[in-house]
Amino acid sequence: MLCRVANELFWMARHIERAENIARMLDVTYRTSLMPYQVTEPGLAWAEPWSVPLITTGLATEYYERNAALSAEAVLKFLILDAANPSSVYCCLRAARESARSVRGAITSEMYEDLNAAWLEMRRYDYDTVQQMGVSNFLEWVKMRSHLFRGVTFGTMLRDEAYHFIRLGTHLERADNTARILDVKYHLLLPSSADVGGAVDYYQWAAVLQSVSGFESYRKIYSDVITPRRVAELLILRDDMPRSLHCCINFIHETIEHMGDGRTRELERSSGQLHAQLHYGRTEDIIELGLHEYLMDFLQRISRLGDEISRVFLVPSY
Amino acid sequence: MKAAMSRLPYDEMRLEDGTVRPHYQPFATWLAQTPAARIAQKREEAERAFHRLGITFAVYGEDSGTERLIPFDIVPRIIPASEWTMLERGLKQRVQALNAFLHDIYHDQKILAAGRVPAERVLGNSQYRIEMQGIKVPGNIYAHIAGVDLVRAGEGEWYVLEDNLRVPSGVSYMLENRRMMMRLLPELFAAQSIRPVQHYPDMLLKNLHAVSPAGEDAPTVAVLTPGAYNSAYFEHAFLAQQMGVELVEGQDLFVQNDTVFMHTTRGAQRVHVIYRRVDDDFLDPRAFRPDSMIGVPGLFAAYRAGRVTLANAIGTGVADDKSIYPYVPDMVRFYLGEEPVLNNVPTWQLARPADRDHVLAHLDELVVKEVHGAGGYGMLVGPASTAAERAVFRERILAAPETYIAQPTLALSTCPTFVESGLAPRHIDLRPYVLSGMTVNLCPGGLTRVALREGSLVVNSSQGGGTKDTWVVES
């Protein structure tokens, strides 16, 4: 398969996954924002909910370059509709559709039609129409479009190289996102260590879980109160939780091994190492090292893995 | 010629007294029995589907990236099988002669020596590629894919309007229009025997395999596109997908030791046959336009060396040039020793003083075309023109007469078409796609284009034309 095509497929998948993740974050933020966050007892103040998606995506600087203050409307516009913010839902869907269009021979016509339809619909939205249909409904729509596209891909595509690059893109992006979401809790928690175990803490961990569709799974697995240690275990180490780091790395490592040839040794080694770290890791060790430190290290490794994939497969070599 | 104009145009569906022609009978019945609301619903369905499928073309001169639908009309253009047999024979004959002509002018130049085509018309033509002289191409085929534009002016009266031998486009619309019609009106396909066209990509691939460089029995074929912003990008992607071959851009290919390779995730892979949808000028910055960003450096050297086949060949433009067009019937006689089945439109060449005088005296009746023009740009339709437009053309003709030809305004046949006011007659043409490889073959029918503006004779999509599905039915 052509390097250019593989590259477009990889990024098409990443952009769709990114659109979904932005929608997930905003959805949880939106719901959290409906609760009172100014707790009157000293030391129990929440961080302003609308800052969370900006911190998670690493886009706070860009946001404040355009907006003087933090407001729900401005954050929503920035992360959903801003045509100049490459990580907005609008731009992600546009980029995914452009990629699909430029390699439409490599995907099934159902996939292209689905993505094209999503884009044509996205183009019709502005802030008023999003308000009219309801912010939650809109975010739900974004998630559903991503689910739908994944389903169409899974259901119609030949299990060839093209499929593997899509899978790699999806899971790299997802692993990156889950790690970022978990890490945000670190930023939020620090200033108010007094409330650990309190109501505020509960809502924050619940929000983290909800944003990765993990709330119900948590209840099912642990049938117990939410503790940070278990959330970390669920979202990092459990390999049966589809958005956990372990699960994402399983997909990535499996795919890389499957595509392995003489040129991929170093790539296989890095993905194998990361896989082993999650496969044999213990929650105690993560807590001991510090969740933040652990996640920072993970984000760095996953980003290096992405670079290596790019070097081996996606950039032409003579 | 004046008489032809006052005559009512030939209606494809009905006789002059209003009776439906036999081959349109099943459709007419459906039309009469189907409530207007249901037809409107079908038409909307078609438009939505085309949008969703992304069957669009980019429009030059508007905001970059503007994508538009080519309007699709659900009234089919129907040709009886008996008439198609004649057209098919004529098309094969014509394309065979054109390929023989191309081979000849780049080798022995017998037709020039015999004085049947003026040598300066060919050798002095800007589309003649001197670099192609003496180059051997597989099977002596130059125009692997030819889109021959036909019009009907009356019962059994067909004319060839032009031979498109460079990179003719539109075949994806032929295929998608059929798919759409089968989806919208399956009952009509059940009711009569309509010849299928969906095997076109298979035929094309087989032909491309047949012209691979000598000794390659498992050739790798690729479609070369200028990129996603080209107006016909949808078609390039569509054909590559339908044939199951890679769609490549110039940047995906490189040449080493006169051999063409593509960059793949597994390293370099050789390419043997390139169905290129890039114009000659842009194919190779080393051989042709040095500023081309969409070409492949060294491609022409590999082609010369016989290490890669290009379809169509380089330098076919000279044979579909409007100044060569008048000689095509003579080519049929010269190379095949047969009488041409298909007629040319009578053509005045403005380089000839007698022709020029006649044309200038009858500008309001004739169609004047630029010899190198394409896509309906730079043309004067006399009867529809204003005195001011004619004055401008008169100046232009006098300034450079050799760049113009003129033809009578043909009463192009019409086909009922849905327009805002309902069903109304609109002028149509027909572009069948003739494929040459080991054999010459074509799909029954082709692409019917329709001029949607009332009275307009210009069917090009860039000028607001639409398309129809084309049925060849057993009569």
The Cα–Cα gap between B80 and B99 comes to 28
Q: What is the pLDDT of residue B5?
A: 45
Task: Please report how the helices A245-259 and A161-189 are oriented relative to each other, as an axis angle in degrees rounded to 10.
Answer: 150
Residue B11 has a pLDDT of 96
Rounded Cα distance between B246 and B222, Å, is 5
Q: How confident is the model at residue A192 (pLDDT cuts 50, 70, 90)?
A: very low
Write out chain B residues lying below 8 Å of A103, CB-based. 247
Judged against a pLDDT cut of 60, whether residue A118 lies above it is answered with yes
Beta carbons of A117 and B246 less than 8 Å apart: no
Distance CA B472, CA B386 (A): 39
In this structure, which amino acid lies at residue A318?
Answer: Y
Give chain A positions within 8 Å (CB) of B205: none
Q: Which residue is listed with tokens 């538009």? A: B68
Q: Which residues of B touch A112 (CB under 8 A)?
A: 53-54
Q: Which pTM value belongs to this model? A: 0.84
Range B238-267 average pLDDT: 94
Find, among B405, B408, B386, the residue nearest to B396 by Cα: B405
Q: Give the gap in angstroms from C-alpha B349 to the nearest C-alpha of chain A.
A: 44
Spatial separation of the C-alpha atoms in residues B330 and B75, rounded to whole Å: 37
Which residue in the set A104, A113, A261 is minimally distant from B241, CB to CB? A104
Bridge partners (DSSP) listed for residue B152 = B158
Q: How far is A115 from chain B (nearest CA, A)?
A: 9
Whether pLDDT at B64 is above 70: no
pLDDT tens-digit readout, A7-50? 999 999 999 999 999 999 898 888 777 766 554 444 444 557 78
Neighbours of A262 (CB within 10 A): 7
| Contact indicator for A12, A168 with CB cutoff of 8 Å | no
Helices (H), B367-421: 387-399
Q: Nearest Cβ partner of A101 from B228, B241, B249?
A: B228
- Our measurement of the distance from residue A159's CA atom to the centroid of its chain's CA atoms, rounded to an integer in Å, reads 24
Residue B59 reports pLDDT greater than 60: no
Q: Is B263 on the interface with A (CB under 8 A)?
A: yes
Backbone angles phi, psi at B436, to 5 degrees: -120, 125
Q: Does residue B47 or residue A147 have the better pLDDT?
A: A147
B79 Cβ contact partners less than 8 Å away, ≥ 6 residues apart: B23, B87, B430, B445, B470, B471, B472, B473
Residue A113 · residue B52 · CB < 8 Å:
yes
Rg (CA), chain B: 23
Contacts for B219 with CB less than 8 Å, ≥ 6 apart: B208, B209, B212, B213, B272, B273
- Given a cut of 80, whether residue A304 has pLDDT beyond it is yes
Hunting for tokens 């760095």 — which residue is that? A300
Mean pLDDT score across all residues of chain B: 90
Residue type, B275: Y
Question: Is B168 a residue whose pLDDT tops 90?
Answer: yes
Tell me the average pLDDT across A272-288: 93
Half-sphere exposure of A37 (CA within 13 A, CB side): 16
Sign of the CA dihedral with A130 first, then A132, A133, and A136 last: positive
Minimal C-alpha gap between A270 and chain B (Å) = 19
What whole-number distance in Å separates Cα of residue B30 and Cα of residue B186? 11
In this model, does residue B156 exceed pLDDT 50?
Answer: yes
Contact yes or no for B53 and A116 at CB 8 A: yes
Given a cut of 60, is residue B302 above it in pLDDT?
A: yes
To the nearest whole angstrom, how far is the Cα of B295 from the nearest Cα of chain A? 16
Structure tokens at B418: 């849905």
Beta-strand ranges (E) seen in B118-228 are: 145-154, 157-164, 221-224
**Cβ contacts of A278 within 8 Å, gap of 6 or more:** A236, A237, A239, A245, A246, A249
For residue B1 the two structure tokens come to: 């010629």
**Per-residue model confidence as pLDDT tens digits over B329-379:** 999 999 999 999 999 999 898 888 988 999 999 999 898 988 876 555 678
pLDDT range class, residue B66, cuts 50, 70, 90 = low
Query: A107: nearest CA in chain B?
Result: B241
Range name among A215-224, B99-108, B201-210, B456-465 with the lowest pLDDT average: B456-465
Closest CB from A1, A101, A104 relative to B264:
A1
Token pair belonging to B358: 């006649």
Cα B43 to Cα B419: distance, rounded to the nearest angstrom: 11
How far apart are the C-alpha atoms of B428 and B251, rounded to whole Å?
Answer: 39
Residue B237: which of A98, A104, A314 has the nearest Cβ?
Answer: A104
B65 pLDDT band, cuts 50/70/90, is: very low
For residues B445 and B195, the answer to whether their CB atoms sit within 8 Å is: yes
Interface of B with A in 63-92 (CB under 8 A): none
For residue B357 the two structure tokens come to 């005088």
Per CB-CB distance under 8 Å, the chain B contacts of A314 are 265
Which of B72, B76, B75 shows the shortest CA–CA distance to B47?
B72
Chain segment B72-114, per-residue pLDDT in tens: 999 999 999 999 999 999 999 999 999 999 999 999 999 999 9
Contact residues on chain A for B238, CB-CB shorter than 8 A = 105
To the nearest whole Å, the CA of A314 is away from the closest chain B CA by: 6
Contact A105 B54 (CB under 8 A): no
Under 8 Å between Cβ of B274 and B222: yes
User: For residue A201, is pLDDT > 50?
Assistant: yes
B262 touches chain A (CB under 8 A): yes
Q: Which residues of A touch B51 (CB under 8 A)?
A: 120
CA distance A186 to chain B (A): 40
Q: How far apart are CA B224 and CA B221, in angstroms?
A: 10
The per-residue pLDDT for B324 is: 93
Residue A65 has pLDDT above 80, yes or no: yes
Max Cα-Cα span within chain B: 68
Per-residue tokens: B195: 């010849």
Structure tokens at A172: 């790299």
B247 and A116 in contact by Cβ < 8 A?
no
Please state, in angstroms and rounded to a whole number, the distance separating the CA atoms of residues B12 and B416.
Answer: 8
Q: At what angle do helices A215-222 and A199-211 cross, to 10 degrees?
A: 110
**Least CA distance to A110: which residue of chain B?**
B53
User: How close, in Å, is residue A208 to chain B by CA atoms?
Assistant: 36
Q: In this complex, is the C-beta atom of B124 within 8 Å of any C-beta atom belonging to chain A?
A: no
User: CB B252 to CB A161 under 8 A?
Assistant: no
What is the separation, in whole angstroms, between the first and last Cα of chain A? 15
List the structure tokens of B15.
């006789």
